[in-house]
Amino acid sequence: MSTYRAFEVTGSRKFEWVERETPEPPLGHVRLRVEACGVCHSDVLAVEGMRPDPSRPMVPGHEVVGVIDAVGPGVTTWRVGERVGVGYLNGHCGVCDFCRRGDFVNCEDQPQTGSDIDGGYAEVLVARASGLVRIPEKLSTIDAAPLLCAGLTVFSALRQAAGAPGALVAVQGIGGLGHLGVQYANRLGFRVAAIARGTDKAELAERLGADHYIDSSAEDAGEALRRLGGAAAIVATAASGASMSPLVSGLAPRGRMVVLGAAPDPIQVQTSDLIFGTRTISGSLTGSSIENEDNLRFAADRDVRPMTEVMPLAQAPQAYERMMSGEARFRVVLDVAVRP
């Protein structure tokens, strides 16, 4: 194909269905024929114009699965025909100080897929070879797409904050991130407490692997965690600082709350809750490409799967609105192989 189709965005939510010339991959890059792309809340950076120059057309999407159809100069470890993924981080540079110390997530020269460079709301994607992720055969393309970002995000957080086997781990928010977090925590061998507002997700949380359910609208979630013995880790996924604030007191001594939900309001914490018990609050940003391969293998082998709603690429604007509405259960995925 000499051309391909994509959705560009400019300004705020100005989608345009365009046809582009198919590029050749440059040095150190590969070209993918996109098969699927998850619709993630972080797509707001492109779609809502939250970038330095929102007038420059950008293709959103950073949960991309595709098949390599061309490799650029200098690429020796990837082959045409391989099914691969590309996540939020589009490949580390390998030469900055952070890369030289092995901290690839914080690479100083690493584009963000779908925000800095074109992403997966398209039939074709060009990506750095250092950012590619191999997809296990037993994972379907649709299931793999959300795991490349949402799955990796909670998997990395749990690995950072891991307690001893059988320790209590709380997952706050049973949504796009949280429904995966409960599954990962359960499969990693933790005792899992799911925290959400209301009781409508209690049965789902139990089916996903939660041992306890805490209705934060009916009781103080921090106090409820203390009654369970205190949490070695809390993975906070709901984008609300106010809902995260009461959780800190529910941490066990040396426990850590890892913040994943980007909230508009601050987390408020009593200093005594941090000092007495030497508790920690930290943030976590996805993971490296090789860590993503660990994540996908673990998910494939331990039956961690996203709950998805699938729509064709031609309906990408509607898919984005569906995701933003909060009504999706729980991840929206564009099936790019379906042609209008």
Q: Domain check: are 266 and 314 in the same one?
A: no
**pLDDT classification of 337: cutoffs 50, 70, 90:** confident
Q: Domain check: are 157 and 127 in the same one?
A: no
Helix, strand or coil, per DSSP, at residue 112: strand
pLDDT above 70 for 339: no
101 domain-assigned: yes
42 domain-assigned: yes
Number of compact structural domains in the chain: 2
110 domain-assigned: yes
Q: Taking a C-beta distance cutoff of 8 angstroms, is the pair 234, 172 a contact?
A: yes
Residue 229: half-sphere exposure toward Cβ, Cα within 13 Å:
10
pLDDT above 90 for 269: yes
Tell me which of 267, 283, 299 is where a domain ends: 283
Q: Domain check: are 55 and 98 in the same one?
A: yes
Q: Domain check: are 257 and 312 in the same one?
A: no
Q: Domain check: are 161 and 235 in the same one?
A: yes
Q: What is the mean pLDDT of the chain?
A: 96
Task: Please state the pTM of the whole predicted model.
Answer: 0.96
188 domain-assigned: yes
Q: Domain check: are 129 and 224 in the same one?
A: no
- Phi and psi for 226 in degrees, rounded to 5? -65, -35
- In this predicted model, what pLDDT tens digit does every residue of 84-130 receive, in sequence order? 999 999 999 999 999 999 999 999 999 999 999 999 999 999 999 99
pLDDT above 60 for 340: no
- In this predicted model, what pLDDT tens digit does every residue of 286-327 receive, in sequence order? 999 999 999 999 999 999 999 999 999 999 999 999 999 999
User: What is the mean predicted confidence (pLDDT) over 59-69?
Assistant: 98
Q: Domain check: are 232 and 261 in the same one?
A: yes
**pLDDT classification of 1: cutoffs 50, 70, 90:** confident
Q: Domain check: are 199 and 239 in the same one?
A: yes
**pLDDT classification of 164: cutoffs 50, 70, 90:** confident
Q: How do 231-236 and 251-259 pair as beta strands?
A: parallel
pLDDT of the residue at 163: 80
**Which residue do the tokens 């998850």 mark?**
38
213 domain-assigned: yes
293 domain-assigned: no
Q: Domain check: are 35 and 92 in the same one?
A: yes
Q: Taking a C-beta distance cutoff of 8 angstroms, is the pair 31, 124 a contact?
A: yes
**Which residue do the tokens 């074709």 mark?**
124
**pLDDT classification of 49: cutoffs 50, 70, 90:** very high
Q: Which residues contact 261 (CB under 8 A, 6 or more apart)?
A: 173, 177, 236, 237, 238, 239, 240, 244
Q: How far apart are CA 223 and CA 219, in angstroms?
A: 8
DSSP state of 58: B
Provide the CA 17 distance to its chain's centre, in angstroms: 26
When mean pLDDT is compared across 154-168, 189-203, 207-221, 256-270, the lowest value belongs to 154-168
- In this predicted model, what pLDDT tens digit does every residue of 216-253 receive, in sequence order? 999 999 999 999 999 999 999 999 999 999 999 999 99
Q: What is the end-to-end Cα distance of the chain in Å, rounded?
A: 17
**pLDDT classification of 171: cutoffs 50, 70, 90:** very high
Rounded CA Rg of the chain: 20
User: What is the mean predicted confidence (pLDDT) over 38-53?
Assistant: 96
pLDDT of the residue at 174: 96
Q: Domain check: are 172 and 63 in the same one?
A: no
Q: At what angle do helices 178-187 and 152-160 cross, to 10 degrees?
A: 50
What is the extent of the structural domain holding 224? 151-283
320 domain-assigned: yes
- pLDDT exceeding 70 applies to what percent of the chain? 99
Q: Domain check: are 155 and 279 in the same one?
A: yes
pLDDT above 90 for 38: yes
Q: Domain check: are 216 and 328 in the same one?
A: no
pLDDT above 80 for 145: yes
Q: Which residues contact 218 (CB under 8 A, 6 or more apart)?
A: none
pLDDT of the residue at 161: 84
pLDDT of the residue at 85: 98
Dmax over CA atoms of the chain, in Å, equals 64
CATH of the domain at 222: 3.40.50.720
- In this predicted model, what pLDDT tens digit does every residue of 189-221 receive, in sequence order? 999 999 999 999 999 999 999 999 999 999 999
Q: How far apart are CA 45 and CA 196, in angstroms?
A: 26
CATH of the domain at 68: 3.90.180.10
Amino acid at 108: E
